[in-house]
Amino acid sequence: MFQSAEIGHRINKTKYREAVPALRAALLEAQAKLFEDKSTPVLILISGEDGAGKRETIHVLYEWMDPRFLSTLAFEDPTDEERERPAMWRYWRALPPKGRIGIFAGSWYSDPIRRRIKGKLSQKDLDARAEQINRFEAMLVNEGALVLKFWIHLTKDAQQQRLEDLQNNPQTAWRVTRWNWKRLKTYDKLQDVAGHMLRLTDTAWAPWVVVEGTDEKYRSVRIGQVIAAALEARETVAKPEVTERRTDTAVPMLAGSPIAPFLRVVTDGRNVLSTLKLDMPMSDKAYKQELAQLQGRLSVLARDPRFKKLSLVLAFEGADAAGKGGAIRRISAALDARQFEIVPVAAPTEEERAQPHLWRFWRKLPRQGHISIFDRTWYGRVLVERVEGFCSEQDWQRAYSEINDFEHELVDYGVIVVKFWLQISQEEQLKRFKEREQIAFKRFKITQEDWRNREKWDAYQQAICDMVERTSTGEVPWTLVEANNKNYARIKILRTLCERLEEALGPINKA
Amino acid sequence: MFQSAEIGHRINKTKYREAVPALRAALLEAQAKLFEDKSTPVLILISGEDGAGKRETIHVLYEWMDPRFLSTLAFEDPTDEERERPAMWRYWRALPPKGRIGIFAGSWYSDPIRRRIKGKLSQKDLDARAEQINRFEAMLVNEGALVLKFWIHLTKDAQQQRLEDLQNNPQTAWRVTRWNWKRLKTYDKLQDVAGHMLRLTDTAWAPWVVVEGTDEKYRSVRIGQVIAAALEARETVAKPEVTERRTDTAVPMLAGSPIAPFLRVVTDGRNVLSTLKLDMPMSDKAYKQELAQLQGRLSVLARDPRFKKLSLVLAFEGADAAGKGGAIRRISAALDARQFEIVPVAAPTEEERAQPHLWRFWRKLPRQGHISIFDRTWYGRVLVERVEGFCSEQDWQRAYSEINDFEHELVDYGVIVVKFWLQISQEEQLKRFKEREQIAFKRFKITQEDWRNREKWDAYQQAICDMVERTSTGEVPWTLVEANNKNYARIKILRTLCERLEEALGPINKA
């Protein structure tokens, strides 16, 4: 959930000064309209790590918006009154009526996350709470509410830096307590728990907006822009919409959500791909050394007796000519041929088209002790099928959650799932295409279609960013591979794979 | 879930002979169309208690339909192949392709239900499985599948009778094993677990059809009719539909489902209301004696120290003049006025209209040790608002699950929820209306509106049946009260209340 909020989003003073007046005007206008219509209550949840800037964000919202129609609802320890009723009673009491905006500093998420970190709530209980929250929020939205959930995220370093800054400033030092420093120690645990909770509750009807908190100007503008866009979108949705439905009743797109248009607001133009340094150096000599060493390590891991109870699914995605095949060959070279299968994925067969889109991948799952290497994967639906229009928007939107469910089922059973995106620059791709045309035995690899795909480069980049944002989970993260240099890419892939296997097998006894 | 499948549904031989030819023709035609279109895979799950007639039902389906396009998938203990993959792998393997029908004898429900009964799965784990199943089925339906889930239900007596019949018939005696008799002993446990599981997985996209299994002819015709109606409905749904949507993304109606039109098939005209004997006898003398005794019992229970940690919500619903007020007064007479509040529910105020429909009931929840008595309730949305068109169909359809969630939250916290439906005959209502017009101090109770409501009697009966079917849960069952005789009704209500309180407080120490 947090990958795209760790890339150093920021905007400079000039841009900030340019953006704010228009943004304030948009917010005020939308708010006036909201009050006039009196048809929508708006709930804004401001959540996130300590010191990430929640307090400051609320302050900015009060400055930018009309405070007469805002209320802030802070939830401390429950009162007597509250303790004697079901847990959700306090939130029901605090719901804003239609036409008003309620800012929730702390919400129904705070208590389960806190208790899970303290170990007072089991994983299953947390999941049950997430499901209950999804139903609660679905009810609110069905009843007309707009629910905007922000999670302000800081990297561990950024959080430490921020606490230090606060402490060094005499005006803010009082806000830093021992408790804050203690929370920094549980940072990783919070990331795990919050990441999981956010993924489960990232629904079509109430999606999470994760905002990088380090740069105050970026944070404020980002949140303001999303609120303005969402309020504006609200006005246009009363229009009836023609949709093709399979049944007479709505089939939901469950958690792990589609991308609401108001989330597509661009604030500073940075994304997980644009911030990759694609030309990483690695000499042939260093490559050969490392390759031999890593292949040996992999070979030992695959023959480890503990692996017999596990299995491994490797997923390779990347633009044409990004080097998937070459990377796969460096892996398979280290394995026993009886143990692995390489599954090249092309257009589905007739038999496969008569089944749900994930069916053909379920067919190819490895038995225990075995390895399936997918050269292109179940992500086709949110990449090529999305960009080329081979499926409807609704189909690829719901695919994010179906894919997350699929991978979760695998991991839950004991399958190790490792997935790689190989990123090359447009120039590098062109160079490789031309090389392929020159080399006879590689010529079959380049077709007219490859040239056509190049034209949709930007659409693909957007699809990849969305894919990483929606499907890079704590259990199955995406590894983005800087692949302009094949040496570097292959080594990074092999090393990542070895590390993931070692992690799954537990501590290795060096014999 | 099972209340409406315990009322002795049956059809006689003549009606059966009349119904079958048309039904077979409809099934064959729908099946041919299905195969021609090749757009929809159909999954039919035949589940239910032992000896309820699952095997016979599948047999009948083969007789009535074209067996070339049917396949039956039975799942026994998993094979080696299956054990070495995630649990759902065996079902993915068995999915019927588009155009074909797969009958599942045993399914993804069997294993969690069985393991829960044996105590090998916790309640939370069961809930997690239910959630996983909902997502799996949503994916299937989104991918174009039609998922029909039948649960064949027998009362405990009927199950015993059926096992005896099978055993007494030399041709079928071999089918009855000690294992069957043992299952009879766990009948209550199965009802609890299956009832809970069915409620959680009764979704808009894959609703459960509970079929009373005692009468073979009823069972077969009922299942055949629902399949035929569902296949037929499938053909009409490709049409684009204009729907008013609040947001650009679909908001789901979650589990606890709307009533799919194909479930409204009428097979034998019986329902939970038509089978009530409304004129139950009770003399004034017997009434006075029992009343005094029960009021005493209730008074003691309400002052029990253990009640201080609990609270009580009483819900009264019934037609106009059904006697709700009188019954409530007989309860309040036994209670300390500081302990209870009577909440009369009329049309919502302006403030309440600016909030979700359940908000006004959340407001009135009792503190610990207290009692709220609702004279009309949160069921207004699925009764008067549905019938009078005060809300959209989508609104009342989703209300069933919202109400189930609401009551579950209360129970989960420790609130005892007891709900009564008071049923009177149309004649009795007319008599009472006329009496009220005669008696000065009761005249205010009868208005033009009451007379108008009478005209919608049938629509109300349908709404009540749907309400009982969708919201009578193991935790919070509906008590249907035969209320033509006020004496009888009041005593039944008081006795039910005392029993539920005693159950909740645990064993009483007689001092």
pLDDT digits (tens, 9 = 90+) for B41-50: 999 999 998 7
Q: Check CB contact of A86 with chain B, cutoff 8 Å.
A: yes
Q: What's the token pair of residue A129? A: 């709470």
The packing angle between helices A110-117 and A187-200, to 10°, is 140
SS3 B502: helix
Q: Which residue has the tokens 């409406």?
A: B4
H or E, element range at B123: helix B123-142
Each residue of B150-207: pLDDT tens digit? 999 988 888 888 888 888 888 878 877 776 777 777 888 888 899 989 988 988 788 8
Measured CA to CA, the distance from residue A63 to residue A27 in angstroms comes to 11
Q: What is the pLDDT, as a whole number, of residue B234?
A: 79
Beta strand A146-153 pairing with A42-48: parallel
Question: CA torsion, points B227, B231, B236, B239, in degrees to nearest 10?
Answer: 120
d(C-alpha A7, C-alpha A275), whole Å: 7
Q: Is A359 on the interface with B (CB under 8 A)?
A: yes
pLDDT classification of A502: cutoffs 50, 70, 90 = very high
pLDDT tens-digit map of B329-344: 999 999 998 899 999 9
pLDDT in tens, A433-469: 888 888 766 666 667 777 777 778 989 999 999 999 8
pLDDT, position A242: 30
Calpha distance A383→A318 (Å, rounded): 10
Amino acid residing at A413: Y
Q: Which of 273-332 (B) contact A at CB < 8 A?
A: 311
Chain B residue numbers touching A132 (CB-CB < 8 A): 405, 409
Q: CB count, 10 Å around CB of B381?
A: 21
What value does the mean pLDDT take over residues A302-318?
95
- Chain A CB contacts of B132 under 8 Å are 405, 409
CB A52 within 8 A of CB A153: yes
- Tokens 């499926």 correspond to A391
A vs B: CB pairs below 8 A: 236
Consecutive H or E run containing A333: none
Q: Per the CB < 8 Å rule, is B252 touching A253?
A: yes
DSSP code of A251?
Answer: P
Tokens linked to A367: 């038995």
CB contact under 8 A, A260 and B241: no
Q: How far is A72 from chain B (nearest CA, A)?
A: 18
Taking residues A350-359, what's their average pLDDT? 90
**Closest by Cα among A205, A261, A196 to A228:** A261
Task: Answer for the pair A253, A216: CB distance below 8 angstroms, yes or no.
Answer: no
pLDDT of residue A509: 54
Contact B252/A248, CB-based, under 8 Å? no
pTM: 0.82
Task: Identify whether the C-beta of residue A403 lies closer than 8 Å to the C-beta of residue A471.
Answer: yes
- Closest Cα of chain B to A313: distance in Å? 12
Q: In this prediction, what percent of chain A has a pLDDT beyond 70?
A: 92
d(CA A45, CA A107): 7
Q: Is A354 in the B-facing interface, judged by CB distances under 8 Å?
A: yes
CA distance B507 to chain A (A): 24
pLDDT at A239: 32
| Residue for token pair 């190989």 | A422
Please tell me the predicted confidence (pLDDT) of residue B443: 64
DSSP-assigned beta bridge partners for residue A372 = A313, A341
Report pLDDT digits (tens) over B89-102: 999 988 999 999 99
Nearest to B365 among A85, A144, A405 (CB): A85
Is residue A217 within 8 A of residue B170, CB to CB? The reply is no
| Nearest chain A residue (CA) to B249 | A204
Could B136 and A405 be called an inter-chain contact, meaning their C-beta atoms sit closer than 8 Å? yes
Question: Which residues fall within 8 angstroms of residue B440, CB to CB, at 6 or more apart?
Answer: none
A33, with CB counted inside 10 A (0-12, 13-18, 19+), is: middle
| Residue B469 confidence (pLDDT) above 50 | yes
- A246/B144 Cβ within 8 A: yes
- Which chain A residues are within 8 Å of B264, Cβ to Cβ? none
> Interior CA angle at B130 toward B127 and B134, to 5°?
140
CB distance A313 to A416 below 8 Å = yes
DSSP string, A421-436: EEE--HHHHHHHHHHH
Edge-to-edge order in the sheet of strand A311-318:
A340-344, A371-375, A311-318, A415-423, A478-482
Question: What is the pLDDT confidence band of residue B264, given thresholds at 50, 70 and 90?
Answer: confident
What is the reported pLDDT for B251?
Answer: 47
Count the residues in chain A: 511
Are residues B139 and A87, on separate chains, in Cβ contact within 8 Å?
no
The Cα–Cα gap between B281 and A295 comes to 87
Interchain proximity B86–A412, CB inside 8 Å: yes
Structure tokens at B212: 């009373």
Cβ(A146)–Cβ(A42) below 8 Å: yes
Determine what percent of chain A falls in helix, strand and coil, rounding each to the nearest 5: 55, 15, 35
DSSP letter at B256 equals S
Query: In which region does residue B319 sit, left (phi positive, over 0), alpha (psi from -120 to 50) or beta (all else)?
Result: beta
Identify whether the C-beta of residue A422 lies closer than 8 Å to the C-beta of residue A316.
Answer: yes
A333 CB near a chain B CB, below 8 Å? no
Range A455-477 burial, b when 16+ CB lie within 10 A, else e: eeeeebbbbbbbbbbbbbbeebb
Six-digit token string for B162:
């059926």
By the CB < 8 Å criterion, does B371 face chain A? no
Which structure tokens are listed for A198?
């956010």
3-class secondary-structure state, position B96: coil
* pLDDT tens per residue across span A145-182: 999 999 999 888 888 888 888 888 888 788 777 767 77
Say yes or no to pLDDT of B465 above 50: yes
Determine the residue among B131, B251, B475 to mutate to test chain A binding: the one whose Cβ has the most chain A Cβ atoms within 10 Å: B251
DSSP character string of A347-411: SPPHHHHTS-TTHHHHTT---TT-EEEEES-GGGGGTHHHHTTSS-HHHHHHHHHHHHHHHHHHH
Annotate B193-248 with DSSP letters as a single string. HHHHHHHHT--SSS-EEEEE-SSHHHHHHHHHHHHHHHHHHHHHTTS-EEE--SSS
Of A85, A355, A358, the CB nearest to B367: A85
CB within 8 Å of chain B, chain A residues 442-471: none
Of residues B131, B358, B415, nearest to A131 (C-beta): B131
Q: B405 and chain A: CB distance < 8 Å anywhere?
A: yes
Amino acid identity for residue A36 in this structure: E
The rounded distance, in Å, linking the Cα atoms of B80 and B72 is 21
Taking the C-alpha atoms of residue B258 and residue B408, their distance in angstroms, rounded to an integer, is 18
C-alpha to C-alpha distance for B410 and B413, rounded to whole angstroms: 5
Query: What is the nearest CA distance from B338 to chain A, expressed in angstroms?
Result: 17
With left for phi above 0 and alpha for psi between -120 and 50, is residue A254 left, alpha or beta? Answer: beta
Q: What is the largest CA-CA distance in chain A?
A: 80
